[in-house]
Structure 1
Amino acid sequence: MGHDNPFVITISRQLGSGGAYIGQQLAKKLDMYYADNEIINKAANKFSMEESHLASRDEKLQSIWHSFLQFSAFSSDKYIPSDVMDPTSRELYETETEIIRHIAKEHSAVIIGRCGFHILREYSNRVSIFLYGDKSFRVQRIQQIYEISDKEAEEMILQSDKERALYINTFTGKKWSDICNYDLAINTGKIGVDNAVELILDYVKFKQ
Structure 2
Amino acid sequence: MKYDWIITVGREFCTGGADAAKELAKRLNYRYLDKVLVDETAEVMEVSKEMVEKNDETPEGYLDIPPHWYMDEDDPTVLLTDAARVVNAQTDVIMKYAKERNCVIVGRCADYILRDEPHLLRVFFYADFNERVKIAMKRYGLTDSKARRLIRKTDKQRATYYNRNTRKRQWGHPASYDLYLNLVDLGIDGAIDAIMERIDLEERIHGHQNGEKEQQ
User: How much does 1:146 deviate?
Assistant: 2.1
Query: Which residue is 1:143 aligned to?
Result: 137
Q: 1: distance between equivalents of 2:54 and 2:140?
A: 16
- Cα distance in 2 for residues equivalent to 1:181 and 1:143: 29
Q: Deviations over 1:91-140 (max 9, x none)?
A: 22221111111101124100000001111111111110011111111111
Counterpart CA distance in 2 for 1:46 and 1:12 is 24
Q: Say whether 1:94 aligns with 2:88.
A: yes
8 Å contact kept, 2:55–2:86: no
The CA deviation at 1:148 is 2.4
1:192 aligned counterpart, secondary structure: helix
- TM (norm. structure 1) is 0.81
2:158 equivalent among 150, 164, 177 = 164
**Pairing partner for 2:188 from 180, 188, 193:** 193
**Aligned positions of 1:10-89 closer than 5 A:** 10-62=8-60, 87-89=81-83
Q: Is the 8 A contact 1:39 1:99 kept in 2?
A: yes
Q: Distance in 2 between matches of 1:145 and 1:161?
A: 17
- Identify which of structures 1 and 2 has the higher relative contact order when contacts are C-alpha pairs closer than 8 Å and 6+ apart: 1
- State percent identity of aligned pairs: 29
CA contact (8 A) 2:20 2:192 kept: yes
The aligned counterpart of 1:110 is 104
Secondary structure of the residue aligned to 1:136 is: helix
1:184 matched to 2:179? The reply is yes
Q: Distance in 1 between matches of 2:191 and 2:177?
A: 15
Q: Which blocks of at least 5 consecutive residues in structure 2 are unaligned?
A: 62-71, 73-78, 204-216
Name the structure 2 match of 1:7.
Answer: 5
Q: Deviations over 1:33-59 (max 9, x none)?
A: 000011111111223333233223221
Q: Which runs of 4+ in 1 moved over 6 A?
A: none
Q: How many aligned residue pairs are there?
A: 186
Residue 201 of structure 2 aligns to which amino acid in structure 1?
Answer: F
Question: Within 2, Cα distance between the matches of 1:43 and 1:89?
Answer: 12
Report the CA distance between 1:150 and its aligned residue.
Answer: 2.4
TM-score of the aligned structures, taking structure 2 as reference length: 0.78
Letter aligned with residue 161 of structure 1 = D
Question: In structure 2, do the counterparts of structure 1 residues 172 and 2 end up closer, same or farther at CA, with 3 Å as the change threshold?
Answer: farther
* Contact 1:2/1:124, CA 8 A, preserved across alignment: no
Q: Deviations over 1:131-179 (max 9, x none)?
A: 1111111111222222322222211110011111111111111211222
2:45·2:89 contact (CA, 8 Å) conserved in 1? no
